[in-house]
Amino acid sequence: MSPYYGMYVVLGLVFKVLEIAIKVLKLNLVAKSLEAQFGNFIIGLNDNRPKETAPKDSVSKTEIEHLAKMVEFWWDTKGPVKMLHTFYQVRVPLVVEGLAETGRISKADISKQDALKGVRILEAGCGGGVLAEDLARLGAYVVGVDPGKEMIDLAKSHLETKSSELKNLIEYHDITVEEHAKQFAGTYDAIVCSEVMEHVDEKESVLAACCRCLKPGGSLFVTTENQTMLAWFFFIIIPEYFLNFIPKGTHFYEKFVSPRAISQIASKYGCKTRSVRGFFYDRMFNSWNFIDNDDCNYGLHAVKE
């Protein structure tokens, strides 16, 4: 771990104390009152953009248009979203080890190059296809769905021109997971919903559709940011306001969600949480690690009963 992790630990303790003080003194109510009168004065807190909905389901048209601006640098491994290209360091083991725990794949096969051979995976909110390709390289058959046509076009183009060896293992559709679930309920061994929850308003709608798509005994994997001050600082303030890596307004604290909330929703639709694993992103080395703390970023694994 680098000195950046030391800063992470210290700030984590500071923000925990602040969160307790805010709760005890009810400062959150004061902030809401002030914002109602004077507008959104705490940066990265609330999403005050228009709430017009997309033609269907859970994603706002405003969100789709905002994310479409990132198409030009999505596959730049040294660009503003370079963290996505090293995210496999925790996202892939989360899936592989989770499927081994359920018995869908053999624990003896975890380290094999084709560890996911024969596993059918749906990636809900696949964006430009980074994770879909990571999973397909291990032999999985991946179906990627995303309501952003620009992102799906990008994913298809990259697959065709840069990763043609995976063409028989991946398919992409510009559709919401809710629409997909109407035709493909009970179809998949695993659903991956990675870095999606923080961009949607109707979280239950997305998770319910994901659960419907799973076979009995299938695994749901969700990665996202926790709703904490630590996550607000490391995933909004630093990248969007200090470093200007990604466009301002990409993330909002109010859209972050705790693992407990995800677990409760998944449980309503027959998926019981097996594990929650904390992630740490080291900006100094552009690397990811598992840690025993889910205060910032985490991966949740639930299994359909």
| 198 assigned ligand-binding residue | yes
| 125 assigned ligand-binding residue | yes
| 195 assigned ligand-binding residue | yes
Residue 143's φ and ψ, nearest 5 degrees, are -110, 120
The sheet carrying 271-282 orders its strands as 170-173, 141-145, 120-124, 188-194, 214-225, 297-304, 271-282, 287-291
What is the amino acid identity at position 30? V
| Cβ-based neighbour number of residue 278 at 10 Å | 18
Q: Which of 158, 160, 134, 155 is nearest to 144 (CA)?
A: 155
Residue 225's φ and ψ, nearest 5 degrees, are -100, 140
Please, what is the end-to-end C-alpha distance for the chain in angstroms?
Answer: 38
Detail the DSSP E strand segments found in 195-286: 214-225, 271-282
| 199 assigned ligand-binding residue | yes
Write out the binding residues: 91, 125, 146, 194-195, 198-199
Write out the binding residues for S-adenosyl-L-methionine: 91, 125, 146, 194
Write out the binding residues for Mg(2+): 195, 198-199
